[in-house]
Amino acid sequence: MFNTRHTLVALVEDKPGVLNRVASLFRRRDFNIESLAVGRSEQLGLSRMTVVVGGDSAKVEQVRKQLDKLINVVKVTDITGEDIVTRELALIKVKATASTRSEIIQIVDIFRANIVDVASDSLTVEVTGDEDKVNSLLELLRGFGIKEVSRTGRIALTRGAI
Amino acid sequence: MKKTGAQILCESLIREGVEVIFGILGGAVLPIYDTFPQYPQLRHILVRHEQGAAHAADGYARAVHKAGVCIATSGPGATNLVTGIANAYMDSSPMVAITGQVARPFIGKDAFQEADITGITLPITKHNYLVAGAAELAKTIKEAFHIAQTGRPGPVLIDIPRDVQEEKAEFVYPDKVDLPGYKFVSKGHSVQIKRAVKLLKEAARPVIIAGRGIIISQAYDELKELAEKAQIPVINTLLGIGAFPGDHVLNFGMLGMHGLAYANLAVQNADVVIAIGMRFDDRATANTKDFAPQASIIHIDIDPAEIGKNVPIDIPIVGDVKSVLKAMNKEIESRNHLDWLSQLEQWRSEHPSLEIRQNDGLLPQYVIRQISEATRGDAIIVTGVGQNQMWAAQHYIYTKPNSLISSGGLGTMGFELPAAIGAKVGRPEETVWCVAGDGGFQMTIQELATIAQENIAIKIAIINNGYLGMVRQWQELFYQHRYVDTKLWNPDFVQIAEAYDIPGVRVKHREEVIPAIQKAMDYPGPFLIDFIVEPEENVYPMVQPGESLSQILELPKPEVPSKY
């Protein structure tokens, strides 16, 4: 019954309005979506959606069953307790001067992140990993001055055989 | 051969077995209406407001067990359907609502009479469609009827842009649907059924709570077999009325906020509750924390999302009620529960919830009872919402399956008149009584014109207490008699009816009740009776909000002088 973070993965039809239907259901049942990522899946005409929400298990199970009733949702699973791989991608534009640039590059290297754009007063960093890794890098870069951040939100798959 | 979108729509409706459409026209559905004369087998009933079309389609659907169809134009026509669609959604009534939309090039331009009706109805439809082209239309209609009428039924809306109605496409009606995301389980899990049978075998004080699912599934015989074989008393929800004969010895009536005292006591003292096709609505359970506190609960429902939604369940069985009950009946053993049934009989005599007291003024309970007597419990009763609804639920003895049509979930005042039209159109051989309150009647009163135009022979009983009665009752009990804005100035309903060419009488005294009802029944067409009843009569028993089903308020509180 405790408030925990749940990761729901839904296989949905790739049709107009489907994202709206899914998001609307969360709103109706009083859930705040922490993140939502969607893109084409391995099957033609189907997208895979990863939704992260906080809530007690019974409430999340209720919303999962309601989602499963949507005609455009082919399958939806709460994979929270399962053995899963999760990743998030973030782009971070950080202030950089001649004197700070090399220090930033060092930090980026430690995180195995990449510099994807260099300007006279900033660097744009691309980082992939779980949320903790992204958060840690952000925390370290904050001291240099962060100009912009864009995060994809979590995507997830269960490990091994399906 | 190529056909226009409008022709494809009509052809498809005919292939779905549609005979009647309730609607009112406007600019964005003109091509459809222009096509109707080519298809005389589709009867169109012209209503006076789109809400009426939706409720009529809903009433029709409930009466005949197939999807009711309504049609409205774009913009305000479509938004006027919304209450009726929400009502059908809450009560799992199959409906296909067709709306016109502005032509495709105008969509998203805030064109005249444009409204995003698929967006608006997203949370109140089982599914909806905006049709992108005439070539998609046949497939869409096939899917819409399939979705509306199978599994847990519900409303489906199809929004058709005006130019799609005129566009030509090849017409081939599909014989199958391909909906990978739509699934429902019909057969109950055999292990769960075995567990339920075992639990019932060990039960000493079992009760059945029968819901509307039994009516939807038409599992009347299966329910009766289960109840009789295992000698289990049957309690019903409001919408479960008509699932089990009202005059059956095992029938102990409706539970809930205005349930009969002995029905509530039975549930509260049961050791096993078998809830069939019901969804533990708060009006039925009262405070869920103390609902059936001694009972293990078996829940049979076709919608897995209903399991454990409001009340924890010990044995869930997901499946179609009819199929599950059939399987259970094969395994259930004959039992008798003499002690338990005599306990219930004792509660029934100690708590005579249906007793009507002697009174000088006309009592609404008496009116309902007399309609019940005059029709021998054999009519279809369509009610409004509020006191009239509760009295009709309590005091009419429903002997026939599926004989109450009422807005349970959404509680839509104004449902009664158009829904009664739909019921009578669907089952013209039946006597249909519309039991209305004076408040709700005025919310869809314009449909009197539809009744007159189509000569729909329904009998209308207005339970006229000059108040928004149920709200007044709450003000009396919980707001210290402060009757803020519940007193109604009313027009002369008999004269109103007369203006619509519908005969009617006013009844103020007890002795006039039976002759008036007789007169209404004898008259071959629609008839209205304005019953002027005791203005401050309350509905009892009552479980006050927040309390448990055991805390039953039975006798009127002593009169406290109003300070307001």
CATH classification at residue A58 = 3.30.70.260
Question: Six-digit token pair at B108?
Answer: 């998203």
Task: Flag if A74 and B308 touch (Cβ within 8 Å).
Answer: no
For the segment B165-199, what is each residue's pLDDT rounded down to a tens digit?
A: 999 999 999 999 999 999 999 999 999 999 999 99
What are the backbone angles phi and psi of residue B438, rounded to the nearest 5°? -70, -25
Is B121 in contact with B93 (CB distance < 8 Å)? no
Residue with tokens 């222009």: B34
Distance in angstroms (rounded) separating the CA atoms of residues B145 and B133: 19
Task: Compare all CA atoms of chain B with the CA of A16 and give the residue at the minimum distance.
Answer: B130
Q: Which amino acid is present at A149?
A: V
Q: Which amino acid is present at B191?
A: V
Same domain, A107 and A78: no
Is B407 in contact with B93 (CB distance < 8 Å)? no
Task: Flag if B181 and A66 touch (Cβ within 8 Å).
Answer: no
Query: For B2-170, which CATH class?
Result: alpha beta
Instruction: State how far residue A85 is from chain B, nearest Cα, in angstroms.
Output: 25
For the segment B392-402, what is each residue's pLDDT rounded down to a tens digit?
A: 999 999 999 99
Give residue B475's Cα distance to chain centre: 26
Domain hosting residue A90, numbered range: 85-158
Name the residue among A109, A162, A99, A96 with its Cα closest to residue A137. A109
DSSP states along B144-198:
HHHHHHSSS--EEEEEEEHHHHH-EEE----SS---TT-----SPPHHHHHHHHH
DSSP state of B48: S
Same domain, A29 and A63: yes
Instruction: State how far residue B102 is from chain A, nearest Cα, in angstroms.
Output: 18
Does B411 score more than 70 pLDDT?
yes
Task: Flag if A12 and B182 touch (Cβ within 8 Å).
Answer: no
Is B57 in contact with B68 (CB distance < 8 Å)? yes
Share of chain B above pLDDT 70, in %: 98
Arithmetic mean of pLDDT, B437-456: 98
For the segment B226-252, what is each residue's pLDDT rounded down to a tens digit?
A: 999 999 999 999 999 999 999 999 999
Same domain, A93 and A48: no
Same domain, A41 and A9: yes
Query: For B190-350, which CATH class?
Result: alpha beta
Instruction: State how far residue B105 is from chain A, nearest Cα, in angstroms.
Output: 17
pLDDT at B173: 97
Task: Flag if A74 and B180 touch (Cβ within 8 Å).
Answer: yes
Task: Flag if A71 and B305 touch (Cβ within 8 Å).
Answer: no
Same domain, A146 and A109: yes
CA–CA distance from B21 to each of B57, B58, B132, B232, B432 (Å)? 8, 11, 23, 42, 19
SS3 B125: coil
pLDDT at B564: 45
Same domain, A102 and A67: no
Please check whether residue A19 touches B, CB under 8 A: no
Q: Last residue of some domain: A39, A64, A82?
A: A82
For the segment B342-386, what is each residue's pLDDT rounded down to a tens digit?
A: 999 999 999 999 999 888 899 999 999 999 999 999 999 999 999
pLDDT at A24: 94
Low-confidence spans in chain A with pLDDT less than 70: 1-3, 162
DSSP states along B501-546:
T--EEEE-SHHHHHHHHHHHHHSSS-EEEEEE--TT----SBPPTT
What is the distance between the terminal CA atoms of chain B, rounded to a whole angstrom?
73
* Domain B364-532 CATH superfamily: Thiamin diphosphate (ThDP)-binding fold, Pyr/PP domains (3.40.50.970)
Question: Six-digit token pair at B415?
Answer: 């449902």
Task: Flag if B182 and A66 touch (Cβ within 8 Å).
Answer: no
Task: Compare all CA atoms of chain A with the CA of B181 and give the residue at the minimum distance.
Answer: A74
Same domain, A121 and A97: yes
CA–CA distance from A10 to each of A22, A38, A75, A87, A153 (Å)? 10, 9, 6, 16, 15
Q: Last residue of some domain: A67, A82, A97?
A: A82
Task: Compare all CA atoms of chain B with the CA of A59 and give the residue at the minimum distance.
Answer: B309
Question: Six-digit token pair at B163?
Answer: 């130019």
Distance in angstroms (rounded) separating the CA atoms of residues B369 and B500: 28
pLDDT at B172: 96
Distance in angstroms (rounded) separating the CA atoms of residues B486 and B480: 14
Q: Last residue of some domain: A37, A60, A82?
A: A82
pLDDT at B250: 98
Per the omega criterion (within 30 degrees of 0), is the bond before B541 cis?
yes
Distance in angstroms (rounded) separating the CA atoms of residues A19 and A6: 19
Same domain, A101 and A145: yes
More confident residue, A160 or B223: B223
Distance in angstroms (rounded) separating the CA atoms of residues B36 and B424: 22
- Return residue ranges of chain B for CATH 3.40.50.970: 2-170, 364-532
Question: Six-digit token pair at B205?
Answer: 């004080």
What domain count does chain A have? Answer: 2
**Angle (nearest 5°) at CA A152 between A147 and A154:** 130
Please check whether residue A40 touches B, CB under 8 A: no
The band of B560, judged by pLDDT with boundaries at 50, 70 and 90, is low
For the segment B62-73, what is each residue's pLDDT rounded down to a tens digit?
A: 999 999 999 999
Does B162 score more than 50 pLDDT?
yes
H helices, E strands: number in chain A: 4, 9
pLDDT at A161: 72
For the segment B1-60, what is each residue's pLDDT rounded down to a tens digit?
A: 899 999 999 999 999 999 999 999 999 999 999 999 999 999 999 999 999 999 999 999
Cβ contacts of residue A37 below 8 Å, gap of 6+? A49, A50, A152, A153, A154, A155
Quote ipTM for the complex.
Answer: 0.90
Q: Where are the beta strands (DSSP E) in B384-480?
A: 404-405, 432-437, 459-464
pLDDT at A68: 96
Same domain, A39 and A98: no
**Angle (nearest 5°) at CA B413 between B411 and B417:** 120
Smallest Cβ distance to B122: which of A20, A74, A75? A20
Task: Flag if A68 and B309 touch (Cβ within 8 Å).
Answer: no
Distance in angstroms (rounded) separating the CA atoms of residues B260 and B258: 7
- Return residue ranges of chain B for CATH 3.40.50.1220: 190-350
Instruction: State how far residue A114 is from chain B, nearest Cα, in angstroms.
Output: 40
Same domain, A63 and A103: no
